[in-house]
Structure 1
Amino acid sequence: MWGAHTPTERTTVLADVVAGYGAGVFSLKTAVRMLQEAGSPIDDVSEDIERIQQRAFDQAARLADATGDNAVVRAYGSSSSASCSASSMASRSWPQGSSESNPR
């Protein structure tokens, strides 16, 4: 653990995680662990990863249903999976009392 983080520090960590994971520099596990250590309300890293992956799968399934085009779904999966998971991390809510906002 790094200790207590101010909202500004948490915002910096979040930006680093989104950029690092989106660029493929961090694994999803490392990214989620960084968020946890920065004060994000993550009790279990593995469970959080499963939820992130399930959301990405659900989004791909909705795209397949909407378009009926597997090529579009494959392109979405290869070009957007990191950004989808990164954007789901960016929408994470922070503990009450912080000045972070939850853009959901």
Structure 2
Amino acid sequence: MTPFTEDVLRVLKDIPPGVVVTYGQVARLAGSPRAARQVVRILHSMSAKYDLPWHRVVNAKGELNVPDEASRLEQRRLLEEEGVLFTEDGRVKLPQ
């Protein structure tokens, strides 16, 4: 495992319930601000194995960015259970 991957895993595990971050924010906190796509890859391939809070990470527009409808519904349900608010068009209300 690369040091960047280890840093991403650490950042992801530290996201508290009810807090949503973007892929870019995770990359920046892990020390590589231009590696948002790598964060997506890590989440996709390692979420189950490392029990990562995948549902707390969205794209820069606040959109749920998972490929299938069932996973998007699950992500929204999990976030709503944590008190996360959504806009009328289905985006997460990100802090300004």
Structure number with higher strand proportion: 2
Q: What TM-score, normalized to structure 1?
A: 0.32
Q: Which has the larger radius of gyration?
A: 1
TM-score, normalised via structure 2 length: 0.34
Q: 1 or 2, which has the higher helix percentage?
A: 1
